[in-house]
Amino acid sequence: MSLSKTNNLVALNWKEHKYNLDASMDNAMRQTNWPALCQLAANLRDDVPCVPLDYATNGLNNMARLLQFEDGVLWVARVAMRRSSADTAKLRSEVDTMRWIRHQSSLPVPEIFAYEVDEHNAVGVPFVLMSFVPGNTAMDAGGGYETHHGIIPAAHRLRFYHAVAACHVSLFKPLRTPDGKFDAGPIPGIGGPFDTATAFFTAWADHTRFPRQSDEILDIMRGAPEAEQVLRAVDNFLSRFRAVAPRLVYRNDRNHDSGPFPLCHPDFLHSNIIVDDSNFDVLGIIDWEGACTLPLELVRFPRFLNALPRRFGRSDRYSEDGQPHDTDEQQRWHERHEYVQMVASLEALERGGDHTLSACLADEHAQNLSYAMEAFEGGKMGFYDQLLDDLEEGLPPGGRSL
């Protein structure tokens, strides 16, 4: 059965993306025993037959294909394209995270019906069978990237931001497992679980290295006068981070070293938020691979509101009063401020006056530290020293160090 035979039940803007030959959608298609997968799906629905549709898409690690049942119901079969032990651990964690969210909150995530985390099964590949959310991602809605270049159309932006803020408030809660069905496990590459924010920051500093060598940095910067400053900043970042991070945690009389530790989506971006194509209402949030609980100091804006910290880039990007010259950047800072206000309003209604999330988002020092950590892991060149200078100036003297 092809998509054209579904009587327009869906109008998805899915596209195939090529990454590499070893982890490709073509390989995953060939290696998957689709009759066995469809039989499993049918068994889960009291033997209602189903077939795979000729409609699929993929990300970096997984591909997704629609299955249609005889009664018109649609499911998504998500098949892993990478199969290392690390990928297996991520898949298991993602499944557990999505099950926990449906168990603990009203956040819209697909329902998982069945899964296998390794390839030793009748289907021949790691897979997840989940409910189909009938919409496009916000990146692909409204005509897709070719139409709006990944920017939410202005006519829908306010409504979309408000809907995302409601999801953010729903997501922002400490991990509780009163029935014993879920346990917090280690974070890949770092370890844990951790009882304190300080322990997390210590482990992060112990395991993280800047992924570029000095000669590569100099080559990329091509003789820019700031190159030596960037080199020194990169070399000194971890030692300075060990001194600054605990002071950020302990800056208040009531510190958050022992939590709460909210669940954070690692890629909270509009490419992972499914919306109604007509009005951009949020229908679901997908791709929970790598989700974990983090210290409050690392709670961040949705990634479509990312902004470069003022002191991380060149000073000539900003006016004397600290405002960016670039009009798009000005607009992003304005939208960040509006988003914080949306979150605060929703917290007042839904969280009994607990404004912790909006306070985290409004905390420029914490936002800058979180940005610096991600930038350092990703090998981004910038003035880490200036950013840490600003952090230290805004913190009380002394305090603990890692």
Q: Which of 66, 61, 93 is nearest to 77 (CA)?
A: 66
- 292 touches 262 (CB < 8 A): no
CA–CA separation, 90 and 81 (whole Å):
13
CA–CA separation, 325 and 172 (whole Å):
33
pLDDT at 4: 37
pLDDT at 143: 82
Burial 68-79 (b: 16+ CB within 10 A, else e): bbeeeebbbbbb
CA–CA separation, 134 and 132 (whole Å):
6
Range list for CATH 3.90.1200 in the chain? 145-393
**pTM of the shown model:** 0.89
| Position 255, amino acid | N
| DSSP helix, strand, coil percent of the chain (3-state; round to 5) | 45, 15, 45
CA–CA separation, 208 and 230 (whole Å):
18
Dihedral (CA of 17, 50, 75, 182) sign: negative
- Domain 3-134, CATH: 3.30.200.20
Structure tokens given for 73: 């119901």
Q: Give me the architecture of the 145-393 domain, per CATH.
A: Alpha-Beta Complex (3.90)
**CA geometry: angle at 151 spanning 146 and 152, to 5°?**
110
pLDDT at 376: 97
Element (H, E) at 114: strand 112-116
- CA 325 to each of CA 54, 109, 184, 305, 333: distance values in angstroms, whole numbers, following the listed order: 48, 39, 44, 17, 12
Q: Which residues contact 30 (CB under 8 A, 6 or more apart)?
A: none
CA–CA separation, 49 and 72 (whole Å):
10
| Position 175, amino acid | L
Averaged over successive runs of 10 residues, the pLDDT of the chain (402 residues) comes to 42 70 82 97 97 86 93 95 85 91 89 93 96 91 83 93 95 60 74 91 96 94 90 96 88 74 92 92 93 92 93 85 86 96 92 85 93 96 93 74 66
CA–CA separation, 232 and 383 (whole Å):
9
Range list for CATH 3.30.200.20 in the chain? 3-134
- CA 340 to each of CA 1, 243, 295: distance values in angstroms, whole numbers, following the listed order: 47, 29, 19
Structure tokens given for 126: 């790691």
Structure tokens given for 300: 């961040």
CA–CA separation, 264 and 375 (whole Å):
17
Alpha helices (H) in 208-355, listed in sequence order: 214-221, 227-249, 327-350
Q: Which of 270, 98, 104, 268 is nearest to 174 (CA)?
A: 104
Structure tokens given for 77: 């079969």
Q: Which of 125, 163, 174 is nearest to 356 (CA)?
A: 174
Number of neighbouring beta carbons within 10 Å of residue 396: 9
